[in-house]
Chains A and B, each alone.
Chain A
Amino acid sequence: MTESTAARKPRRSAGSKAAGTTGGKAGTTGAKRTRTTRKTGAAAAKGSETELVQLLTPEGERIETAGDSAYAEYAQYVADITPDELRGLYRDMVLTRRFDAEATALQRQGELGLWASLLGQEAAQIGSGRATRDDDYVFPTYREHGVAWCRGVDPTNLLGMFRGVNNGGWDPNSNNFHLYTIVIGSQALHATGYAMGVAKDGADSGVIAYFGDGASSQGDVSEAFNFAAVYNAPVVFFCQNNQWAISESNEKQTRVPLYQRAQGFGFPGVRVDGNDVLASLAVTRWALDRARRGEGPALIEAYTYRMGAHTTSDDPSRYRHDDERAAWEAKDPILRLRRFLESANHADEGFFAELEAESEALGKRVREVVRAMPDPDRFAIFENVYADGHALVDEERARFAAYQASFAEAEGV
């Protein structure tokens, strides 16, 4: 229902440059640009100008959402958002970006083996992350630093696996934030199973699974969609379409806009402007709410852009043009909210200055914690392989210990 309303009603158009963020490949400019709209299928032919839920334009204007606005259904979820909450969202995005920049720098300095930056995706992550309740459960992929922030996971915990001192780094149950999942798409099934359990328990928590546009091609994601639909599981699928899966563009992943896939599985899908933190918050609240009410899964496609490289090992200049990034910089999620806060007089100089100082302090703390992060004990190799123990692990640990001890003996002689 929602999906089709969102798709059919005309979006606000006149005078808004936001048209640039609409569906298809409108955001892709430059020599590498390929066909913008496929006319091959009915779904694709619907047109890309009518698909994007947006509540805040890139210029920072709040879009009129009263009455019969196409977005009224979602907008009601942020209708009474306070200036304080808006400043909170801004703070979250700024600090997350700062943390991310610090991690990128630490990788450059050799302190981290790898880093997957979220630059550009702050609004999608903070908006959706702030829509979750404490008792909800989040299943991230490997780039959800902003969501982790919203869940109260200490950001330095996220760095352990990238530094190479562990393969996780936090207790998933202390913040209901599962470990990062590297195998793309796998966690969509874990989220669905977890949500099936929530439903069995008669609880009203929601579950949210994050994955990328590339991951949407994995069988596990389709299987998760199907299980979720069949069992009416309270799970929200949150796909951050950041336009690229390493070097592969959307065209190499799908022939139909991703949000439309939900329809084939029997639940609503909606495309939201992922650079609009308000819209991301509203749409995710809407989806979690209906999941909690027992109305089953929903798919949110947050249409956004990965401004940096895929990871610090990637070289985007091989497959995309700088002008593409420049076009998306004009839609920067943080700048957009700042413009709104300023024009609405919701924040003063003092607020921005204080935040800047907080941001500096966060950067400093992250640097210090990472540099002080100890290497794990060598016997950690054998720890927690099994919950109930395993004879082979015991045998190999003992042999390893004897081998290590032989060095000490040799030195002692």
Chain B
Amino acid sequence: MALAKAINESLRRALESDPKVLIMGEDVGKLGGVFRVTDGLQKDFGEDRVIDTPLAESGIVGTAIGLALRGYRPVVEIQFDGFVFPAYDQIVTQLAKMHARSLGKVKLPVVIRIPYGGGIGAVEHHSESPEALFAHVAGLKVVSPSNAADAYWMMQQAIQSDDPVIYFEPKRRYWDKAEVDAEAIPGPLHAARVVREGTDLTLAAYGPMVKLCQEVADAAAEEGRSLEVVDLRSISPVDFDTVQTSVEKTRRLVVVHEAPVFLGSGAEIAARITERCFYHLEAPVLRVGGYHAPYPPARLEEEYLPDLDRVLDAVDRSLAY
């Protein structure tokens, strides 16, 4: 099943099992969303459950907060990464803080779905990775699946969470297929997972970069190097224990994400792992990601985005210490 379809199935299951779950966003109804992630849901659940909204992101998130206060569990779609900013105020000043301000009396089970990341040749504002901006804010949980099975289960868990969850969907992996077992018992939403075992170096990534890191590990294996790949899955919180265990074994860490490296989530991981694993490390933690520049026009995105060679280069640099 494709990743986009897995999210669709997961939303369907949530709509079926809990009458309080609502889908809201621009074009989520008849059209099924610009990526068809909500395809067919309005037809089956009606305009009252799958709500086409006015084109106003602050309005979408602000009213979702009100609906959550009334006992609903809205799942909101932001059409593209670069369009979340009109809603950023509501997310940061209201959604993230209301539980604390009410001393725990108010819960805001709101999921905000954001298709994010590049590699699809889009125009500007359609390829960004703003996850660090959200992970920096206490009160929000930030996750990103890398495959269809995770996409399915992490969406179930995000909707069931009483905390607001920002759910970043790797749009360039929407069409990647994988087995989805709808009967499985999933691990915790915030647990990282070792997706490939190795002994020489750990690659840590999430969302769209996990697949790349697996390809890197394949390529490195041909050169006789054994890389371990950790899929972080969650960006807030980060499952440092799993990363630590891996790094204590391999003694080297390279973090890979599409977002700009500067003050990105890789910086946090590098700092924490350095603190936790100082005496185990054979090399400084290295990061591979975007540059401190606006996301470039499509004809340049291959230069901007981490690719096989850039990650392999970082692997070489780490191993050279």
A residues whose Cβ falls under 8 Å from a Cβ of B: 166-168, 171-173, 178-179, 181, 183, 186, 188-198, 200-201, 219-220, 223-224, 226-227, 230, 383-388, 390-393
Contacts and interface: CB of A to CB of B under 8 A. Distances in A.
A286 to B, nearest CB: 23
Given A190-B94, A194-B67, A172 B106 contact: yes
A198 to B, nearest CB: 7
Contacts of B138: 385, 393
Contacts of A166: 101, 103
A201 B69 CA distance: 13
Given A186-B90, A189-B62, A226-B59, 19 more contacts: A171-B102, A172-B69, A186-B62, A188-B62, A189-B90, A190-B63, A194-B70, A195-B66, A197-B66, A198-B70, A219-B58, A223-B54, A223-B58, A227-B54, A384-B104, A385-B139, A387-B99, A390-B237, A391-B237
Contact of B59 (A191, A194, A224, A390): A224
A167 B62 contact: no
Given A173-B105, A189-B59, A220-B62, A194 B69 contact: yes
Contacts of A173: 105-106
B200 interface: no
Nearest to A173: B105
Interface residues of B, number: 46
A227 B104 CA distance: 28
B172 interface: no
B53 interface: yes
- Which 6 pairs across A and B sit closest by C-beta, in order of nearness? A193-B66, A189-B62, A197-B70, A193-B63, A223-B59, A387-B162
B63 A196 contact: yes
B104 A200 contact: no
Interface of B: 48, 53-54, 56, 58-59, 61-72, 86, 89-90, 93-94, 97-107, 138-139, 141, 161-163, 190, 236-240
A191 B67 CA distance: 9
Nearest to A191: B66
A198 B70 CA distance: 7
> Which residue, of B54, B66, B162, has the highest number of chain A Cβ atoms within 10 A?
B66
Nearest to B240: A391
A201 B70 contact: yes
Contacts of A200: 48, 72
B165 to A, nearest CB: 10
Contact of B237 (A179, A189, A392): A392
Contacts of B54: 223, 226-227, 230
A197 B237 contact: no
Nearest to B104: A384
A185 B22 CA distance: 24
> Which residue, of A181, A188, A392, has the highest number of chain B Cβ atoms within 10 A?
A392
A197 B59 contact: no
B69 A391 contact: no
A252 B190 CA distance: 48
B102 A172 contact: yes
Contacts of B106: 172-173, 179
> Which residue, of A168, A171, A220, A388, has the highest number of chain B Cβ atoms within 10 A?
A388
> Which residue, of B72, B98, B103, has the highest number of chain A Cβ atoms within 10 A?
B103
Contacts of B161: 387-388
A207 to B, nearest CB: 8
A197 B94 contact: no
Contacts of B53: 227
B58 A196 contact: no
Contacts of B105: 171-173
A196 B48 CA distance: 10
A336 B70 CA distance: 39
A195 B70 CA distance: 8
Contacts of B68: 193
A324 to B, nearest CB: 33
A283 to B, nearest CB: 23
A18 to B, nearest CB: 37
B54 to A, nearest CB: 5
A193 B237 CA distance: 29
A181 B72 CA distance: 21
Contacts of A387: 99, 104, 107, 161-163
29 contacts: A166-B103, A168-B103, A179-B106, A181-B94, A183-B93, A186-B89, A189-B59, A189-B63, A189-B65, A190-B69, A190-B94, A196-B67, A197-B66, A197-B67, A197-B69, A219-B56, A219-B86, A226-B59, A383-B100, A383-B103, A383-B104, A384-B104, A385-B99, A386-B99, A387-B163, A390-B236, A390-B237, A391-B190, A391-B237
B162 A388 contact: yes
A271 B8 CA distance: 47
A390 B62 contact: no
Nearest to A203: B70
A385 B58 CA distance: 23
A383 B104 CA distance: 8
B59 A227 contact: yes
A384 B71 CA distance: 19
